Amino acid sequence: MEIGVVELSRLQFATTALFHFLFVPLTLGLSVICAIMETVYVMTDRPIWRQMTKFWGALFGINFAIGVATGITMEFQFGMNWAYYSHYVGDIFGAPLAMEGLMAFFMEATFVGLWFFGWDRLSKRAHLMVGWLVAIATNFSALWILIANGWMQFPVGAQFNPITMRMELTSFFDVALNPVAQAKFVHTVSAGYVCGSVFVLGVSSWYLLKGRHIQLARRSIAVASAFGLAGVMSVIVLGDESGYDASENQKMKMAAIEAMWETEPAPASFTLFGFPDQTTHETKWAIHIPYVMGLIGTRSLTQEIAGIDQLVTRAHDRVRNGIVAYDLMMQIQAQRDSGVDPALIARFRRHEHDLGYALLLKTRVEDPRQATEEQISQAAADTVPHVWPIFWAFRIMVGLGFGMLCMMGYFFWRASFRRMSFPRWALWLAVIATPAPWIAIEMGWIVAEYGRQPWTVAEVLPTALSVSHLSVAEVAVTLAGFVLLYSALFVVEMGLMFKYIRKGPHEDVALTEDWMQRHENRLSGRAEVAK
Q: Tell me 369's DSSP state.
A: G
What are residue 42's phi and psi, to 5 degrees? -65, -35
- Provide the minimum distance between the beta carbon of 142 and another protein in the complex, in angstroms, as a whole number: 15
Other beta carbons within 10 angstroms of residue 211's beta carbon come to 8
- Provide the minimum distance between the beta carbon of 101 and another protein in the complex, in angstroms, as a whole number: 4
The residue among 423 and 495 lying less far from another protein, judged by its C-beta, is 495
Question: Among residues 186, 309, 174, 316, which one has the least CA distance to residue 241?
Answer: 186
- Provide the minimum distance between the beta carbon of 84 and another protein in the complex, in angstroms, as a whole number: 5
CA distance 63 to 68: 9
- Provide the minimum distance between the beta carbon of 516 and another protein in the complex, in angstroms, as a whole number: 21
Other beta carbons within 10 angstroms of residue 26's beta carbon come to 26
CA distance 220 to 200: 7
Q: Tell me 482's DSSP state.
A: H
Instruction: Please enumerate in sequence order all residues whose Cβ is within 8 A of that of 206, keeping only pairs 6 or more positions apart, or say none.
Output: 427, 431, 501
The residue among 62 and 194 lying less far from another protein, judged by its C-beta, is 62
The residue among 304 and 507 lying less far from another protein, judged by its C-beta, is 507
CA angle, residues 266, 272, 277, in degrees to nearest 5 = 90
The residue among 122 and 226 lying less far from another protein, judged by its C-beta, is 122
- Provide the minimum distance between the beta carbon of 435 and another protein in the complex, in angstroms, as a whole number: 22
CA distance 362 to 473: 23
The residue among 102 and 523 lying less far from another protein, judged by its C-beta, is 102
Peptide bond into 267 cis (omega under 30): yes
The helix (H) or strand (E) run that includes residue 457 is strand 455-457
The residue among 57 and 294 lying less far from another protein, judged by its C-beta, is 57
Cα within 13 Å of Cα(53), Cβ side = 24
- Provide the minimum distance between the beta carbon of 177 and another protein in the complex, in angstroms, as a whole number: 13
- CA dihedral 254→192→456→14, nearest 10 degrees, is -110
The residue among 279 and 471 lying less far from another protein, judged by its C-beta, is 471
- Provide the minimum distance between the beta carbon of 141 and another protein in the complex, in angstroms, as a whole number: 10
Instruction: Please enumerate in sequence order all residues whose Cβ is within 8 A of that of 44, keeping only pairs 6 or more positions apart, or say none.
Output: none
DSSP helix/strand/coil, 405: helix
- Provide the minimum distance between the beta carbon of 51 and another protein in the complex, in angstroms, as a whole number: 13
The residue among 70 and 271 lying less far from another protein, judged by its C-beta, is 70
